[in-house]
Amino acid sequence: MRYLILSDLHSNLEALDAVLRAVPAGTCDRIVVLGDLVGYGADPNAVVNRVRALAPAAIVRGNHDKVSAGVEPADNFNDAARHAATWTFDALTSENREYLAGLPAGPIILDEVLELCHGSPDDEDEYVFEPTDAIEALRAARCNVCFFGHTHVQIGYWLSGSDFDLIVTGPDEDTTVRIEEGRRYLINPGSVGQPRDGDARAAFAVFDSDRGEVTLRRVAYPVAAAAAKITAAGLPEGLARRLALGK
């Protein structure tokens, strides 16, 4: 079974379409989404509609989905994120707002093969940045392979007994991770719509459960077009500028 793993789309239609062109229909058996369909970008309805049309096998909510749908207040958001969430709430159709509000919390287990969450298996809003955070998350995970998002950083970790290491991606080529027996893996496919690891290209992953491989991938997209939409919508200019920086 081949899974297309998407996370943190953040209303960036150009980035999402570039990913879907890079992985044509039929290439993967199932699509899963790790949350934050909206927030920051200028195309919330188009992105939600696109995701709904893809009929994901599994999807969990992100913090921006909750706030933008009115499920939670924006108390923990900075000014730019709060502005974007308020704008997104007003821009969303009632149908799409209801869809986001109804997304399930993670973690969830799919096919008893992989676990999906937005933040971590312990807390859907937790950021996994530090090795200590990753080790705790790996120990909390219920499957040997767990995909997470939220940080917008394409990275992986593995744990086997007392052995622990990071999986880092190269600057140009895809990175393939072989799933080895006896190890537990925590893998972030990176952000489709707003990467923050210094690489502006849209990030995603493909998991082949039969081959026991995860491929971390990047694809270029028209950043300037997505940024121009943000500016035209009256959203904070910093949200447009950061797209080109990948930060």
Q: What per-residue confidence (pLDDT) applies to 140?
A: 95
Q: What per-residue confidence (pLDDT) applies to 65?
A: 98
Going by pLDDT thresholds of 50, 70 and 90, the confidence category of residue 46 is very high
Instruction: Name the pTM for this structure.
Output: 0.96
Q: What per-residue confidence (pLDDT) applies to 111?
A: 87
Q: What per-residue confidence (pLDDT) applies to 168?
A: 87
Percent over 70 (pLDDT), the chain: 100
Average pLDDT over residues 204-215: 96
Q: Give me the DSSP letters along 132-173.
A: HHHHHHHHH-SSSEEE--SS---EEEEEETTEEEEE---SSS
Residue 187 and residue 167 in contact, taking contact as beta carbons nearer than 8 Å: yes
In sequence order, which residues have a C-beta less than 8 Å from that of residue 54 and are 6 or more positions away?
Answer: 20, 31
| 241 has pLDDT over 80 | yes
Q: What per-residue confidence (pLDDT) applies to 37?
A: 98
Q: Is residue 200 classed as helix, strand or coil in its secondary structure?
A: coil
Q: What's the pLDDT tens digit per position in 70-127?
A: 999 999 999 999 999 999 999 999 999 999 999 999 999 998 889 999 999 999 999 9
Q: What per-residue confidence (pLDDT) applies to 215?
A: 97
Q: Closest Cα to residue 79, out of 239, 212, 245, 231?
A: 239
Angle at 103 between CA 147 and CA 153, to 5 degrees: 30
Q: Closest Cα to residue 193, out of 152, 228, 225?
A: 152
What's 31's DSSP letter? E
| 171 has pLDDT over 90 | no
Q: What's the pLDDT tens digit per position in 104-114?
A: 999 999 988 89
| 169 has pLDDT over 90 | no
Domains of the chain (ranges; CATH) run 2-245 (3.60.21.10)
Average pLDDT over residues 125-154: 96
Q: What per-residue confidence (pLDDT) applies to 244?
A: 94
Q: What per-residue confidence (pLDDT) applies to 160?
A: 95
Q: What per-residue confidence (pLDDT) applies to 130?
A: 94
Residue 208 pairs with which residues in a beta bridge?
A: 2, 213
Q: What per-residue confidence (pLDDT) applies to 25?
A: 81
